[in-house]
Structure 1
Amino acid sequence: MSKIGDLWWVVAVVGLLVEDAWGITDARLVQGTNVNLGEALQFLREYDSEASRICHRVSSARWTYSTNMTDFNKRKMIEEQTLQAKFNKLSWKRTMTFDWTRLPDQMVRRQLKFLITNSRASLTDEKYNEIYHLISEMKDIYSHIRICPFNSQESLFCDLELEPDVVRIVGNSRNHMELAHVWREWHDKVGPPMKNKFMRYVQIANQAARMNGFLDAGEEMRYVYEEQNFEIEIAQTWASLQPLYRELFTYVRRKLLQFYGPFVVRPEGPLPAHLLGNVWAQDWSKIVDLVAPYPEFKTIDVTDEMLRQGFTPLRMFQMAEEFYTSLGLKPMPPEFWRFSMFEKPNDRKVQCTASAWDFCNQIDYRIKQCTEVNMDDLISTHHEMAHIQYYLHYSEQPYLYRDGANPGFHEGVSNAISLSVFNPVHLHRVGLFNENTDSYETNINFLMLMALKKVAFAPFAYLVDAWRYEIFQNGVQNMNAVWWELRLRYQGLIPPIPRTENHFDAAAKRHIPADIPYMKYYVALLLEFQIHSSMCFASGHVGPLHNCDIYRSREAGRVLSDLLKVGKARHWKEVIKMLTRGQSDRLSAEAMLQYFQPLMLWLKVQNRNETILVCNKQQNCV
C-alpha cells in the first residue's frame, strides 16, 4: 500500500474527543493483541491513502454507469465494487490484530473502532460472499418488478414500474379501488419472491454481528451512534412528537372520510394505507388538495413564475450556489461545473435520481440530476448542493472522518437548508412568490403542506428500523404480523386488504432488501429543525420559525460552517452541543414542535369534536 505523510494526522487531532465520556462500552467487542501505537498509526496512514484511492475508483465507475447505463459500464462498476469489498475485508483483518481498546491515543482507538464495527468481514469468505449476493439478488428482484394496471384484462400490459408509473398513480388517483389494486399488486409481487432470501440474510447478518461481539445485527446497527442510551433518547423524541402527529392524523382522517365515505374510511378507526398519496404512506403531501385548510388561497408553487422568468437548469444551480456564497460558504469548484450532469441526456439511458457525489480525491465533487424547471427541482438543487458543501468543508479530514457526525447529519443539514429555501419569505425575497406572505390562511396552508411531508414521515422513519431490530432480535417467524403491528401502533395505519405470513410487506420499501439503515432518516428529521433553529437564532430572526430565511446571513453561515468542517472527527453529541451554544447535546423534537406550533393550535380547534386515535401494542385503537 502507498504511504503518505503525517500532515493528515495533525489535521485530525484538532477537535479530539474522548469517546468514553459518552458512556460507550467497548469491552465486549473483539480485538487482537498488538498495542504498538506506532504500528497502528502507520496502518491508519496507509489505510487513509489506499481507501481514498479505491473510493475514487469505485465512485468513478458508479458515476460512469449511472450516467451511461450500459452492460459494459455495469460490469466495470461491479468489478470495482468487488475489489473494494476485498480491500475492506483485508483492512478489517489487519485492524483485528490490534488490541485497540488499550491503545493510549483516543483518536487511533476511535478510527480502529470504526473499521471493526458495522462490518461483516468477520464472516468466512463463503458467507461473506453469500450475504452480499443475497442483497444483490433482492435489489435485482425489487428493480425488475412490474405490475398490471387497474382493469387490465391482458398480462401483455403488465409493465408498470415503481417509478414513475406506480408513484404517479398513487399520488394522483382518487379512485380508491384503483389505489387498492395498485397497492396489492406492488406488495404481492415484490415481497414473496425475496422472503426466503431475506430470512437467510437475517441469519448471516446476525452471525457476523455476534462474531463482532454484539448480541445481534440490530445492536450492531445502533452502535454506529456511539451512544448507550440511543434507543431511549430516540423514543423520548417520538413521545414528544406523538401529540402533533395524532392531531394531524385525526384531521386528515376526517377529510378523507368526507371524500371517500364511511365504507372506505372508518370514522373513528385506523386509516387504510393506500389512500395517503404515497406507496408506503410515508409522505402525505400528494393529497394536499383533499385536506388543504383554506383551498381558496393559493398554494406555494413558483413553477409558473420560474418558467415566465426563463429559468434554465443551469440558472437553478447558479441560484443555489449564490445562496451558499451569500452565507459566506464555498463556491462550487471548477470540476463541479465541468463534470456534473444537470439535465437528462437524450442519447443514453441514465439514473435520474438526484444525488451528490464525492470522488474522494479532495478535488472532484458533482451533482447528478435530471433537472426540470419547476419548484421541486429548485429545492432539490439547493438540497444536493448542501451535500457538496459538507464534502468541501470536511475534505481535509482523514478518510474515516469524511462523513456526517452521525448517519443522520448529511440529510439533516441538507433538509435544514431546504427549510429556508422552500419558504414563503425566501421565495418572495428572490422574486418568485408574489403573494402576501403575512396572510394567516397562506401560512396555515403552508404549514399543513409541510406537516404532510415532515410530521407524517416521522412515525414511518422511526418504525422501519424498529421492525428490523425486532426481527434481528426475535426471529423471522412473524415478520409480516410484526410489520403491521408497528405500522398500526405508530402510524395508525392498516393494510387495505387482509395480509398473512405468506406476504412480506416490509420488502415493499427498498431500504429493507437493500440492507440500508433507516433510523438515520428519523435522526435527520430531528436534526434539520434543530440546525434550522440554531441558524435562525444566529441570524437574528424574529417571528415564527417557519418564516425564517437565513439567506445572506453570514452569522448563520458561520454556525453551519463550524458544523460542516468537523465531519465525523468529533462525537455527534459534541457537535450538537456546539450547535446549540452549549445548551444541549441531545437530539430533540423541540425545534420541530416550535416550527409547527401555529398549525398545532389550528388543528386542536378543528379536532375539538373528534376522537383522537391511540393504538397500543395489542393493536387496540381507541
Structure 2
Amino acid sequence: MSCRVRTLVKLGSIILFACIVSTLSDTRLIQGHNQNLGEALQFLREYDSEASGMCFRVSSAQWRYSTNMTDYNKRRMIEEQMIRAKFEKLSWKKAITFDWTRLPDPMTRRQLKMLATNGRASLPDEKYNEIHHLISEMKEMYNSVRVCPYNNKDNRYCDLVLDPDVIRLMEHSRNPGELNHIWKEWHDKTGPPVKNKFMRYVQLANQAARMNGFSDAGEQMKHQYEDDHFEFELNETWEKLLPLYKELFTYVRKRLLGKYGSEYIREDGPLPAHLVGSISGQDWNGIADLMMPYPAVKNIDVTDELLRQGFTPLRIFQMAEEFFTSMGLKPMPPEFWRNSLLEKPVDRKVQCTASAWDFCNRMDFRIKECTEVTMDDLVSVHHEMSHVQYYMSYADQPYIYRDGANPAFHEAISNAIRLSVFNPHHFHRVGLFNNNSETYETNMNFLMTMALNKVAFIPYALLVDQWRFHVFRGGIQTMNSAWWDLRLRYQGIVPPAARNERQLDAAAKRHVIADIPYTRYYVALLLEFQIQEALCSAAGHTGQLYTCDIYRSREAGRILSEALKLGRSRHWRDVLRTITRGKQDRLSADAMLDYFQPLLMWLRIQNRAEKVIGWTTHKEDTSLFQPLLYKSSASAQSLYLYPLIAVIALKINLL
C-alpha cells in the first residue's frame, strides 16, 4: 500500500509517524479484461435471478432447522449452504473476468465491485472449503460448551449452557466466588480448544484478502464501508464519547465497591470482568439493580400491565405492526402472518433467538421468536419488525442491493425504532404506563437503564475488531495479552484470574470465532441516535431527545421510507444524508451525547468527590496477563499508537 509518511508530533523522545493512506485505488483490486457492458449486464441479470433463488433455498433450509432442530434438517441445511458456497465462488470467478473499473455504467461498476471484493472466493477450492469448515467447526465447539456449577466437588452434572444458565447466573448471582468460577469455566472451555483452528482461520482469511488486493483480512472487512479513512472517523467519535463513559464507569465502580469491598475492587482501579453482570462484560444490564439512582421509584416495566390487559403474543405483533402503519409504512403481508413463528411450539425443539428473515422472493418475510408476554419481548418484536420493514422497502432492488446501506445500517434502523418504543412517554401514549412519566426520578432511572446498555457497550463494540485487526496484521503470537490490553485501555476491565497465551479469551464471544465483524455494532450505536434525532426533528419533537416518540408521525415515516427503499444501492453517506435531510453525511457522537446529557450532569454531581474519573493502571492489573513488549514488535506499536495517530491527524488536517 502506498502512503505519504508525515511526522505528526514529538512526545518526549518518541516521534510519531503516520502513514497517510491515499484513497484505495480500484486498480489494486483483482479484475479481468472484459469491457463489454452488454455482457456485464447480462451476467448481472443472471446473477440476480440465480442468487435470489439460492437465497430462497438456503433460507428455507435454515428456517426448517431453526424451527425444527432435527438431525435430518441440519444435514439438509448444511448441504444447501455448501451449494451456496460453490455458487458464490463461481459468481466471483465470473465477476473478476470484467474490467469493471472501465465500464461506463456506474451501477454496473458498483455491483461488479461488490461481487469481486466480498468473501473468500479467491482462495483455491481446497482452502475455500477449509475456511468454511473451520468456521463451522469452531461454532459447533462453541455451542457444545458445558460449564460445571459452583461447588461441584466431583465435576458431575457439568451441564450448564450459555443461554439461559450462564447468562442468568452472571446477571443474578451476587456471590463473587460463584461469579469467578462461572467466568473462568466459560473462558477456559471456549478459548483453548479452538485456538489452533482460529490461527489457521487467520492465515486463510489473510490469504484470501491478499489475493483480492487487500493488505490483510482486516482491511477487507473495513472495505465494506467504502471509505479508506473510516477508522479515523471511528476514533474521533470515541474520543468524544470517552468522558461520558468514564463518568458512568466511575459511578458503577463506586457502587460495586460498596457492594463487594476493596478486596475485589480498588477505589481508583479497573473493574474485574466477573462483577459487571455479563459473561462478556459488553454491557452492565445485569447489575442494574445495584445502580439505580432512585431505587425507591418504580422502574419502567410494563409486563404486569400487558398481562392485566390480556395481551397475547399475537396481539404484541399486531401492536408492533400498528406502530409502523401509524407512520405510513407498510403492513405485514399475508405470508408473514401465515409463515412466521410467533410462539414457542411444544412439540419440537427450536432455536428461540429472535430473528427476522428475508426469503429473497420479494413476498415472503418472517419473524422467528418464542414470544412471551413481557416488556422485553414487546420491544424485541418492534425491533425485529423494523428489519422486516427494511426488507420490504428494498425488495424491488437487485439482489445484491437488498441489504443495509452499510453493514451497520440494519441494526441502526431497528435500534432507532427501539429508542421510540422503549420509552416512558411511548408506553404512556399507548396506555401501558400509567405512572407520571415526567418526574425527574423516573427519567434518571430510565436514562441509567439505557446507559448501562448503550454507554457501557461503547468501548467493547469498538475494541473487538481493533483486536481482530491487530491479529490479522500479524499478532497471533500475543493474541490473548493483546485482547486484555485493549479491554483494560478501552473499557477499564481486567480478568478476575491470571491469563496467559495458552488461552484465547476473545473466543468467549461467539462473533469472533463465527467470523462476524463487530465494528458494525459500534457504527450502529452511533447511527441509531443520529437517525432518531433526525426522525424526531421531522416529527416536530421539542424537548429532550430521550423523550421523543415518532409514533404516528407521517413525516418521520416518509423520510424513513425514502431511505429504506434505497437498500445498498447508494453509498451509506448518501442514505444518511437522505435521513437527516442533508444535514449530516458522517458518523457523529453528538446525538448520543445529547440523549444522555441529563444523566451526564447527574453523574458529574455523584462523582464530584471521586479522586479519579476513569481508572488508573497499576502493575497488579497488567500482571494478570502477559503484557505486550512495545519495543519488540512493530505490530504491537501500531496497536497502541494508531488510535492516537488517527486523532492527531484529524486535528491537524493531514487527511
| Same fold, TM-score > 0.5, yes or no | yes
1:549 and 2:549 matched: yes
Q: Which amino acid aligns with 1:411?
A: E
Residue 174 (structure 2) aligns with: 174
Residue 74 (structure 1) aligns with: 74
Within 5 A, what are the aligned runs for 1:14-413?
25-413=25-413
Residues 453-507 of structure 1 show CA distances to partners (whole Å, capped at 9, x for unaligned) of 0000111010001100000002300000000000001100000001000110000
Distance 1:276 1:210 in 2: 40
Residue 613 (structure 1) aligns with: 614
Distance 2:192 2:424 in 1: 45
Deviation (angstroms), 1:27? 2.1
In the alignment, structure 1 segments of 5+ residues that lack a partner are 1-21
Residues 227-272 of structure 1 show CA distances to partners (whole Å, capped at 9, x for unaligned) of 0100001111111110100000000000000010000111110000
Q: Which amino acid aligns with 2:32?
A: G
Distance 1:620 1:600 in 2: 30
Distance 1:443 1:23 in 2: 46
Distance 1:144 1:259 in 2: 34
CA distance 1:374–1:209, shift in 2 (3 Å): same
Residue 474 (structure 1) aligns with: 474
CA distance 1:431–1:112, shift in 2 (3 Å): same
Q: Which amino acid aligns with 1:418?
A: R
Residue 19 (structure 2) aligns with: none
Residue 436 (structure 1) aligns with: 436
SS in 1 for 2:366: strand
Q: Which amino acid aligns with 1:428?
A: H
SS in 2 for 1:446: helix
Distance 2:109 2:340 in 1: 37
Q: Which amino acid aligns with 1:542?
A: T
Deviation (angstroms), 1:100? 1.0
SS in 2 for 1:613: coil
SS in 1 for 2:128: helix
SS in 2 for 1:367: strand
1:528 and 2:528 matched: yes
Distance 1:183 1:312 in 2: 36
Q: Which amino acid aligns with 1:382?
A: H
Residue 426 (structure 2) aligns with: 426
Distance 2:564 2:616 in 1: 40
Is the 8 Å Cα contact of residues 40 and 98 (structure 1) preserved in structure 2? yes
Is the 8 Å Cα contact of residues 327 and 554 (structure 2) preserved in structure 1? yes
SS in 1 for 2:513: coil
Deviation (angstroms), 1:597? 0.3
Deviation (angstroms), 1:118? 2.5
CA distance 1:522–1:313, shift in 2 (3 Å): same
Residues 557-581 of structure 1 show CA distances to partners (whole Å, capped at 9, x for unaligned) of 1121111111001000111112222
Q: Which amino acid aligns with 1:319?
A: M
Deviation (angstroms), 1:617? 13
Distance 2:202 2:575 in 1: 34
Distance 1:361 1:196 in 2: 40
204-213 or 113-122, which deviates more: 113-122
Deviation (angstroms), 1:413? 0.3
1:495 and 2:481 matched: no
Is the 8 Å Cα contact of residues 461 and 521 (structure 1) preserved in structure 2? yes
Deviation (angstroms), 1:614? 4.8
SS in 1 for 2:449: helix
Deviation (angstroms), 1:615? 6.2
Q: Which amino acid aligns with 2:359?
A: F
Q: Given the two structures, how large is their TM-score scaled by the length of structure 2?
A: 0.90
Is the 8 Å Cα contact of residues 268 and 616 (structure 2) preserved in structure 1? no
CA distance 1:335–1:209, shift in 2 (3 Å): same
Deviation (angstroms), 1:165? 0.3
Residues 272-315 of structure 1 show CA distances to partners (whole Å, capped at 9, x for unaligned) of 01111111111211211101101011100000111111110000
Is the 8 Å Cα contact of residues 59 and 359 (structure 1) preserved in structure 2? yes
Distance 1:441 1:350 in 2: 41
Residue 599 (structure 1) aligns with: 599
Distance 2:308 2:361 in 1: 40
Residue 11 (structure 1) aligns with: none
Residue 13 (structure 1) aligns with: none
Residues 540-564 of structure 1 show CA distances to partners (whole Å, capped at 9, x for unaligned) of 0011100001111101111211111
Residue 6 (structure 1) aligns with: none
Is the 8 Å Cα contact of residues 488 and 615 (structure 1) preserved in structure 2? no
Is the 8 Å Cα contact of residues 253 and 267 (structure 1) preserved in structure 2? yes
SS in 2 for 1:253: helix
Distance 2:411 2:512 in 1: 19
Distance 1:283 1:372 in 2: 23
Residues 330-371 of structure 1 show CA distances to partners (whole Å, capped at 9, x for unaligned) of 000000000000000000000000000000000100000000
Residue 19 (structure 1) aligns with: none
Deviation (angstroms), 1:616? 8.4
Distance 1:565 1:154 in 2: 59
Residues 135-155 of structure 1 show CA distances to partners (whole Å, capped at 9, x for unaligned) of 111001000000100001132
Q: Percent identity?
A: 67
Distance 1:284 1:563 in 2: 33
Q: Given the two structures, how large is their TM-score scaled by the length of structure 1?
A: 0.95
Residue 558 (structure 1) aligns with: 558
SS in 1 for 2:476: coil
Distance 2:84 2:283 in 1: 35
Deviation (angstroms), 1:130? 0.8
Distance 1:335 1:24 in 2: 44
Is the 8 Å Cα contact of residues 29 and 214 (structure 2) preserved in structure 1? yes
Deviation (angstroms), 1:609? 1.4
Residues 84-132 of structure 1 show CA distances to partners (whole Å, capped at 9, x for unaligned) of 0000000000011111111111111110111011321111111111111
Is the 8 Å Cα contact of residues 269 and 615 (structure 2) preserved in structure 1? no
Is the 8 Å Cα contact of residues 51 and 399 (structure 2) preserved in structure 1? yes
Distance 1:243 1:570 in 2: 34
Distance 1:578 1:410 in 2: 16
Deviation (angstroms), 1:620? 8.0
Distance 1:99 1:615 in 2: 54
SS in 1 for 2:356: strand
Q: Which amino acid aligns with 1:110?
A: R
1:511 and 2:497 matched: no
Distance 1:115 1:51 in 2: 12
Distance 1:155 1:258 in 2: 33
Is the 8 Å Cα contact of residues 270 and 617 (structure 2) preserved in structure 1? no
SS in 1 for 2:42: helix
Is the 8 Å Cα contact of residues 489 and 617 (structure 1) preserved in structure 2? no
Distance 2:373 2:551 in 1: 22
Residue 583 (structure 2) aligns with: 583
Distance 1:176 1:305 in 2: 35
In the alignment, structure 2 segments of 5+ residues that lack a partner are 1-21, 624-655
Q: Which amino acid aligns with 2:309?
A: Q
SS in 2 for 1:30: coil
Q: Which amino acid aligns with 2:435?
A: E
Residue 10 (structure 2) aligns with: none
Distance 1:208 1:217 in 2: 8
Is the 8 Å Cα contact of residues 149 and 158 (structure 1) preserved in structure 2? yes
RMSD: 1.4
SS in 2 for 1:356: strand
